[in-house]
Amino acid sequence: MPTRKPSDVIIVGAGVVGAACAYYAALAGLSVTVVDRGSVAGGTTGAGEGNLLVSDKEPGPELELALLATSLWRELAGVLPARIEYETKGSLVVAADETGTRALRAFAARQEKAGVTAQEIPGGRLHDLEPHLAPGLAGGFLYPQDAQVMPAHAAAHLLRAGGDRVRLRLDEEVTGLLTGAAGEIRGVRTAKGELHAPYVVNAAGTWGGALAELAGVHLPVLPRRGFVLVTEPLPRVVRHKVYAADYVADVASDSAALQTSAVVEGTPAGPVLIGASRERVGFDRTLSTEVLGRLAAGAVGLFPVLGTVRAIRTYLGFRPYLPDHLPAIGPDPRVPGLLHACGHEGAGIGLAPVTGLIIAACLTGGRPPLDIRPFRPDRFTTPAP
């Protein structure tokens, strides 16, 4: 039986992307039901570091999203509570030798033409920005537009900011999509009943492909596992997000094999977060001592002072990976009423606001803030049966 009054839209997924979709849809005057099989930020969002980055993106559609998202996060920081820990600390990308510095210089030059601010820092001045950095690094680039939030708090407060227009249905897994005679969306089916709405937004993160299958369409979202080490609370040892130049190549890689690169950042609460690893191993949650050893070694290589600091915990998450490294955002022409907002890989927290703004525009007949054709959900070839 149908439960409660139908909404204008049902959003599947209560991570930060789903929360942003709910917030902007509510802001546009729509009534929203958010359904999640777990808790708010219980998936990839809760395992994220909260990075809001332009520094790691080549010029192109994703960088356009990121630049707009940067300004939207600044606006949201004035609306949401300070507990989301929005911090415009910037990123410092460092190179070990002159070859790496030249590669960073060429990358930054391409980015600057697309609207990114990047400042070259000679090796002799790196310690002005990060006093505890290892000696002997050749140079780097400072990206002041990069920022950070506490992702779980951001998701929760985005949902709360939607007010009475947003209803939550947690611990309720979607088991099917309801459709009309012409195949159009009519709502979702869960273990607890049916929820009716003329639109459904797939913001299911790493399970976005499985939800698409329920609608009979192909969206090849795969999980890409990553670990994070967390240190004991410290004075502000690391002032920026600091990472080695090879991190950019790892982000863009198609490899399923294990890749690690040194990424170190402090937090307002004190602990230092250490990453980053990437590998496609399905949803295997087995703790990998090899990965943790690589992360620790990479961090100490950048910041020797961390060699005497205790790591108090580790956690893992699964990035929702799509083969071309672009998210699926917008209406699915194969199923009227179905929209997608998933496949952001490791950039979902940063790109959440612009994704929500696009989805709200699509739901209300408005004009999206940029060209969304590169993010078409039907751009992937359906595999042969």
User: In which order are the strands placed within the sheet that holds 174-179?
Assistant: 174-179, 185-190, 193-196
What are the tens digits of pLDDT across the range 81-107?
A: 999 999 999 999 999 999 999 999 999
Nearest Cα to Cα of residue 35 among 244, 137, 228, 178: 178
285 has a pLDDT exceeding 90: yes
Q: What is the pLDDT of residues 214-240, one digit of tens each?
A: 999 999 999 999 999 999 999 989 999
**Given this model, what pLDDT does residue 260 score?**
87
Average confidence (pLDDT) over 150-173: 97
CB neighbour list of residue 198: distance below 8 Å, 6 or more residues apart: 8, 9, 184, 185, 186, 337
**Predicted confidence band of residue 307 (pLDDT cuts 50, 70, 90):** very high
9-49+152-220+324-375: CATH, from 3.40.50.300, 3.30.930.10, 3.30.70.100, 3.50.50.60: 3.50.50.60
- Length of the chain in terms of residues written: 385
Which pLDDT band holds residue 385 (cuts at 50, 70, 90)? Answer: low
Q: How many CB atoms lie within 10 A of CB 213?
A: 12
Q: Are 91 and 241 in contact (CB under 8 A)?
A: yes
> CA nearest 34: which of 9, 1, 71?
9
> Which residue ranges make up each domain of the chain?
9-49+152-220+324-375, 91-144, 222-321
| pLDDT over 60 at 3, yes or no | no
The band of 276, judged by pLDDT with boundaries at 50, 70 and 90, is confident
Closest to 158 in 3D by CA, of 57, 318, 316, 20: 20
User: For tokens 């004190």, what's the residue?
Assistant: 270
Q: What is the DSSP string of 105-130?
A: HHHHHHHHHTT---EEEEGGGHHHH-
Name the strand (E) or helix (H) holding 302: helix 289-302
Report the alpha-carbon angle 89-95-97, nearest 5. 160
pLDDT above 80: residue 277:
yes
Instruction: Using alpha carbons, select from 306, 300, 354 the residue that is nearest to residue 76.
Output: 354
Mean pLDDT, to the nearest integer, of 155-175?
98
DSSP 214-245: HTT-----EEEEEEEEEEPP-SS---SEEEET
Render 321-343 in DSSP notation, one character per residue.
E-TTS--EEEE-TTSTTEEEEE-
CA-wise closest residue to 140 among 158, 170, 118: 118
Question: How far apart, in whole angstroms, are the C-alpha atoms of residue 76 and residue 60?
Answer: 25
Instruction: Inform me whether the pLDDT recorded for 75 exceeds 60.
Output: yes
253-275 mean pLDDT: 86
Q: What are the φ/ψ torsions at residue 261 (nearest 5 degrees)?
A: -150, 150
Strand partners, 227: 316
Q: Are 299 and 307 in contact (CB under 8 A)?
A: no
Q: What is the pLDDT of residues 361-378, one digit of tens each?
A: 999 999 999 999 999 999
Q: Which residue has the tokens 């990453």?
A: 275
Edge-first strand order for the sheet with 200-202 is 166-169, 32-35, 9-12, 200-202, 338-342, 328-331
Mean pLDDT of the chain: 94
* CATH homologous superfamily, domain 222-321: D-Amino Acid Oxidase, subunit A, domain 2 (3.30.9.10)
Question: Distance between CA 88 and CA 85 in Å, rounded?
Answer: 10
Phi, psi at residue 216, to the nearest 5°?
Answer: 80, 20
- The answer, yes or no, to whether residue 57 has pLDDT greater than 80, is yes
Express each pLDDT in 103-159 by its tens digit.
999 999 999 999 999 999 999 999 999 999 999 999 999 999 999 999 999 999 999
The terminus-to-terminus CA distance of the chain in angstroms comes to: 34
More confident: 128 or 255: 128
Residue 2 has pLDDT above 50, yes or no: no
Give me the pLDDT at residue 60, please: 97
> Which residue, among 240, 49, 231, has the nearest Cα to 133 in the 3D structure?
240
Beta bridge partners of 119: 142
Q: Give the pLDDT of residue 258.
A: 85
> What average pLDDT does range 53-77 have in this prediction?
97
For every residue of 43-69, DSSP letters joined together read: STGGG---EE-STT--TTHHHHHHHHH
Q: Which residues contact 178 (CB under 8 A, 6 or more apart)?
A: 185, 186, 187, 188, 189, 194, 196
Instruction: Please state, in angstroms and rounded to a whole number, the distance separating the CA atoms of residues 218 and 43.
Output: 22
